[in-house]
Chains A and B, each alone.
Chain A
């Protein structure tokens, strides 16, 4: 071991506390990076595996499988027609590929949806260009048979075309994809142009092969088979397959990736601060030693060599411990989350090579960058000044600026001389002040940013999935007392004809003495007869006065005017009813029943969102809004099966307020329609996982920043030791000095909290919008509670740190430095 290395080890040993602190910085960095990527990717893969019971080999993998592209494979089909100007030929060709392989045809229209599997139920696969297979269910419904012809309208280059095709067979959807199934299946991505009986015919631009697991632990066996078939060495969830899928799929994956990278970046910045500070303190503390070494002939390069060696050793130690601790925490944390969130066995920590690469890279970058300032300081080291410990004090502390003598006078007058001095210290010692503010600003921007991003993402997912709306109050799903009644009353009439059902339901509402008032909110449409029947029946009801009909949008009536059922107003459509009981208003949507099933998707959840948003913001008379939703299959008298979706919600009125405003709102708001979506559960689960991960990340980052701020404060106190002791010597009491230091901290914290909040909210809004590409649709969310919490937290942390780092009160060591 050469002398420099020996000296390095000796310094590490003799400054064991500083060595440990620096190591902790590196360890935290490594732990953070490792955890972020390991948990993030493990969650993603687990989620995907749970959904599909499979690994999805992906678009890229298939494009090169067996040395052929998907298009090449398809060209082997006798049905492939290079000159064909439509994609049905491609579909046929793929169907042939599937058939030749004696495999089922499967397509998937959403990466996060259940794969849909088709089996050929009747007839044959298409034998020529003019044939097609069609949905078995639809064919039965429409009384179509094999050999019948159908006209397929499609659009191409902005022009409408029609092609006539012969049905050669019918496929039936089979949702029974189980993990027991194994084999190779063709998976088609949904990008269809054609529509047949309301369902798309799939334009098979891409093809993927995936394998289902016979046993999820028997991964190797399935891979082996796959390898045999396609010469693919390793199965993986392909980024490309996700990216090339539909926007909602890529959205989830890209969001996850972007969040991981953002967290990782923030973590890296925090780590750099920690390690940089630790090295800075180390160099500062040892300035005298280095001065001595320089004065006895050691070169700058050799001095820097000592600190570089220290950095290297600390990095290696930190990396090893960090990855070990990180993996342990991942397993432990994931286990806890798994139990809390009741996740399936598919959720487990996996070996993620990216996590290792990023961790090692992050530690190298962190340490290298953290070394810049100390090395620069060492390079400028003047041996004499270092020996006398005057260099730092005389030349670096305050820049040669033109002073403004009146600065701080106001603070002094208002709060005392020590506060004025604190202000001057902050303003005139810009370097130190900026470092403190920057660290705390990053910390607060992080907190506010993560939470704001989370709220905005949550809002967006809810909006996309039609789940809930941006609503500042409390929202419960199926969590109110009347829900059982609502369900039972709806179910009761589920088998009857739609008109009668609503008439009967309406009758029950009116007849029931439980309800003080019934609001009939309607739009004018073409269903006059139903309402006429209804109003006719109840014009003479004893309880007619409890009914209020409100026409929202009807040329025959005055919008917003309240009509009593005792009045004559033919033509009112009953769309929404609402009933009042003990300050609860139950709305039951009734409009959907009159719609043709083809219009099912005419409206979406945004109307619900809009309605509730306005309901809330339009009135201060509401305490809470409760939700319920359900959908019911109907067998109509016409023999058509269709599903009707119901959306119920109960508004609890504030009994102390007048309900005039609320009623006015109902008059002017649009009707509500809610489209139930199966993605509800996925959305909720995903948000729960995201929330849990975000919380863990925030806790880890907070610990990192706590360490960081303690480091900065410690460094500051070391640097200011002489100054603080001088102040004590000339008569500043401990109380005054504490007030001064606390004032500096609070000032720093308040400025940082403000800057951090502004940066956090704006950047999170920007990031979320960029990530999701939904400009203008994301509500700009400012959570004041989070901002206030952040400001208080920063102040508390800062005061705590000052309290921790304050010089010893018992002695004033003015002469310590010389």
Chain B
């Protein structure tokens, strides 16, 4: 079942002679529950593509359809709701909210949606993330690996259909990278979520069901396991 479709997706920065095409007419379909890794050299447009797929950037051309809705046809309010309900973001630099504790960071999407927080469910998730002892700590009191685990928690708390991860292990050492990926894959698989991940580490990409190789903003290969 198709969860995400990108049609003729294009992103051009700048104008005229200085125009740079970061994403060049990409067509892409991602199935529900699929773990897709997007790889490519630096500047190949993988992060831009990811942001376009996640609805945080605006394409110059094309459309992104999630669950049958073109997200760029939606007004900000509805697109924000879609993001918080159907998409979970994980960033390379974690991007946790510095003034919120671990637990508060994790439940933020739930609260933004106006829903009541199920404390037990959150505590279970925090336990799964191995952060029970740290749940009332602020981000700057955590290690990089711990921060990324919080980001994973924040991404999965609303059980979104798609998790979009932009080099989630880029700032972590090998041990933490492996732990984080294991945790991410476990969380995603348990809930049947779709994972779209950008990485330049081939051993991470190798864990994926499908590897898309980008070059100069275009897909040069799309390999399924």
Determine the main DSSP class of A at the interface with B.
helix
Q: Given the complex of chains A and B, what is the CA–CA distance between A461 and B51 in angstroms? A: 68
Our pick among B88, B100, B103, B154 for the contact of A424 (Cβ within 8 Å) is: B100
By the criterion CB–CB under 8 Å, are B81 and A398 in contact? no
Tell me the minimal C-beta distance from A415 to chain B in angstroms.
Answer: 12
Please state if B103 and A730 are interface contacts (CB–CB under 8 Å).
Answer: no
A418 to chain B, nearest CB (A): 8
Given contacts A733-B81, A814-B56, contact A390 B93 (CB under 8 A): yes
The answer to whether B83 touches A730 (Cβ under 8 A) is yes
**Known contacts A722-B95, A815-B166; is A732 also within 8 Å of B47 by CB?**
no
Q: Would A401 and B138 count as touching, CB distance under 8 A?
A: yes
Digit string of A427-441 for contact with B (CB within 8 Å is 1, else 0)?
Answer: 011000000000000
Asked if B190 is at the interface of the complex by the 8 Å CB criterion, the answer is: no
In whole angstroms, how far apart are the Cα atoms of A755 and B177 in the complex? 50
Cβ-defined contact, B109 with A731, below 8 A: yes
Q: Does B191 contact A (CB under 8 A)?
A: no
Contacts of A810 in B (CB 8 A): 58
Is there contact, CB below 8 Å, between A731 and B83? yes
Among B83, B92, B109, B113, point to the contact of A818 (Cβ < 8 A): B92
Q: Say whether B114 contacts A398, CB under 8 Å.
A: no
- Among B25-77, those with CB < 8 Å from A are 47, 51, 54, 56-58, 76-77
The complex places the Cα of A726 from the Cα of B93 at a distance, in Å, of 11
Q: Does A351 belong to the interface (CB within 8 Å)? A: no
A734 touches B154 (CB 8 A): no
Q: Which residues of chain B are near A260, meaning CB under 8 Å?
A: none
With A735-B77, A811-B57 already in contact, the answer to whether A723 and B98 are too (CB < 8 A) is: yes
On whether the beta carbons of B56 and A417 are closer than 8 Å, the reply is no
A393 interface contact, C-beta 8 A: yes
Cβ–Cβ < 8 Å partners of A405 in chain B: 101, 103-104, 136
- The answer to whether A397 touches B80 (Cβ under 8 A) is no
Quick one: which of A392-411 are within 8 Å of B by CB?
Answer: 393-395, 397-398, 400-401, 403, 405
Judge whether A728 is part of the interface by a CB distance below 8 angstroms: yes
Q: Which listed residue (A397, A417, A428) contacts B112, Cβ 8 A?
A: A417
A623: chain B residues at CB < 8 Å are none
CB of A728 within 8 A of CB of B80, answer yes
- Whether A732 contacts B76 in the complex (CB less than 8 A), given A394-B140, A395-B140, A400-B141, comes out as no
A412 lies within 8 A of chain B by Cβ = yes
- In the complex, chain A residues whose CB is within 8 Å of the CB of B111: 412, 417, 420
Cβ of A812 within 8 Å of any chain B Cβ, yes or no, is: yes
Set A395, A400, A417, A809: member contacting B138, Cβ < 8 A? A400
Residue B85, interface by CB 8 Å:
yes
Residue contact A736 to B112, C-beta cutoff 8 Å:
yes
Name which residue of chain B comes closest to A812, CB basis. B56
Question: In the docked arrangement, what's the CA distance between A262 and B161, Å?
Answer: 63
Alpha-carbon gap, A498 to B113, bound state (A) = 88
Alpha-carbon gap, A730 to B136, bound state (A): 21
Who on chain B is nearest to A399 by CB? B140
Given A730-B154, A734-B76, A815-B166, answer yes or no on A398-B93 (Cβ-Cβ < 8 Å).
Answer: no
Q: Which residues of B contact A729 (CB under 8 A)?
A: 54, 56, 83, 89, 95
From 699 to 755 in chain A, residues with beta carbon under 8 angstroms from any chain B beta carbon are 722-723, 725-736
Q: Check if A817 is an interface residue, CB within 8 A of chain B.
A: yes
Q: Is the CB–CB distance between A417 and B77 below 8 Å?
A: no
Residues of B within 8 A of A109 (CB): none
Q: Is A425 an interface residue (CB 8 A)?
A: yes
**B172 interface contact, C-beta 8 A:** no
In contact, A727 and B97 (Cβ under 8 angstroms): yes
Is the beta-carbon distance between A398 and B138 smaller than 8 angstroms? yes
Q: Are A428 and B103 interface neighbours, CB within 8 A?
A: no
Q: Which of A403, A726, A731, A811 is B95 in contact with, Cβ under 8 Å?
A: A726
Q: A732 contacts B97, CB within 8 Å?
A: no
B12 CB-CB contact with A under 8 Å = no
Is B181 at the interface (CB under 8 A from chain A)?
Answer: no
Question: Which residues of the other chain, B, contact A809 by a CB distance below 8 angstroms?
Answer: 76
A425 with B92, Cβ < 8 A, contacts A400-B140, A730-B109 known: no
Q: Check A814–B91 contact: CB distance below 8 A.
A: yes
* B149: interface (CB < 8 Å): no
**Shortest beta-carbon distance, B182 to chain A, in Å?**
23
- A421 contacts chain B at the CB level, 8 A cutoff: yes
* A813 to B81 CA separation, bound complex (whole angstroms): 18
Report which residue of B51, B80, B136, B166 has the largest number of chain A beta carbons within 10 angstroms of its beta carbon.
B80
Q: Inside 8 A of A811's CB, which chain B residues have their CB?
A: 56-58
**Contact status A397-B140, CB under 8 Å:** yes
The distance from the CB of B99 to the nearest CB of chain A, in whole angstroms, is 4
Kindly state the separation between the CA atoms of A17 and B94 in the bound complex, as whole angstroms.
32
Q: Does B108 contact A (CB under 8 A)?
A: yes
A673–B111 CA distance with the chains assembled, in angstroms? 71
- Asked whether A393 and B112 contact (CB < 8 A) given A398-B140, A726-B91, A818-B92, the answer is no
CB of A814 within 8 A of CB of B51, answer yes
Interface pair A733/B77, CB less than 8 Å apart: yes
Distance to closest chain A CB from B199 (angstroms): 15
**Residue numbers in A under 8 Å from B98 (CB-CB):** 393, 397-398, 429, 723
Inter-subunit contact B99/A732 (CB<8 Å): no
Does B159 count as interface, using CB distance less than 8 angstroms?
Answer: no
Residue of A395, A403, A424, A728 most packed against chain B (CB within 10 A)? A403
Q: Which residue of A lies closest to B135 (CB)?
A: A405
Contacts of B93 in A (CB 8 A): 390, 393, 722, 817-818
Residues of A within 8 Å of B100, CB to CB, are: 421, 424
Return the chain B residue nearest A720 by Cβ: B98
**Complex Cα–Cα for A418 and B113 (A):** 11
Is B210 in contact with chain A by the CB < 8 A criterion?
no
Q: Give bound CA distance, A165 to B100, whole Å.
A: 91
CA distance A736 to B166 in the complex (A): 25
B200 at the interface (CB under 8 A from A): no
Q: In the bound complex, do residue A734 and residue B47 qualify as a contact, i.e. CB atoms below 8 Å apart?
A: no
Give CA–CA (A421, B101) in the complex, Å: 11
Check B80 against A734 for contact (C-beta < 8 Å): yes
Contact A733 B76 (CB under 8 A): yes
Task: Give the complex CA separation of A814 and B93 in angstroms.
Answer: 10
Chain B contacts of A733 at CB under 8 A?
76-77, 80-81
Residues of B within 8 A of A395 (CB): 140
| CB closest chain-A residue, reference B80 | A733
Q: Name the residue of chain B whose CB is nearest to the CB of A401.
A: B138
Distance in Å: Cβ of B84 to nearest Cβ of chain A:
2
**B161–chain A nearest beta-carbon distance, Å:** 13
CB-CB nearest in chain A for B111: A417
User: Shortest beta-carbon distance, A681 to chain B, in Å?
Assistant: 60
- B23 smallest CB distance to A (angstroms): 13
Residues of chain B lying within 8 A (CB to CB) of residue A390? 93
Closest to A402 in B: B136
B56 touches A728 (CB 8 A): yes
Flag whether B213 is at the interface (Cβ < 8 A). no
A731–B80 contact, CB under 8 A?
yes
Q: Nearest chain A CB to B87's CB is how many angstroms away?
A: 8
A428 to B139, CA, bound (A): 12
B81 proximity list for chain A (CB < 8 A): 731, 733
Find out whether the CB atom of A726 lies under 8 angstroms from the CB atom of B140: no
Q: How far is the CA of A398 from the CA of B99 in the complex (A)?
A: 7
Closest B residue by C-beta to A817? B93
**Chain B residues closer than 8 Å to A728, beta-carbon distance:** 56, 80
Q: A723-B98, A726-B95 are in contact. List 15 more A-B contacts (CB 8 A).
A: A397-B98, A398-B138, A398-B140, A412-B111, A418-B112, A722-B93, A725-B56, A728-B80, A730-B109, A731-B84, A733-B76, A734-B77, A812-B51, A814-B89, A814-B91
In the assembled complex, 6 residue pairs joining A and B whose CB atoms fall closer than 8 Å, in A order, are A398-B99, A725-B56, A731-B85, A731-B113, A733-B76, A811-B58
Query: What 10 A-B pairs come out closest when comparing CB atoms?
Result: A731-B84, A733-B80, A417-B111, A428-B99, A812-B56, A726-B95, A731-B83, A398-B98, A397-B98, A403-B101
A interface residue numbers (CB < 8 A to B): 390, 393-395, 397-398, 400-401, 403, 405, 412, 416-418, 420-421, 424-425, 428-429, 722-723, 725-736, 809-815, 817-818
| Interface residues, chain B, with chain A CB atoms under 8 Å away | 47, 51, 54, 56-58, 76-77, 80-81, 83-85, 87-89, 91-93, 95-101, 103-104, 108-109, 111-114, 136-141, 154, 166
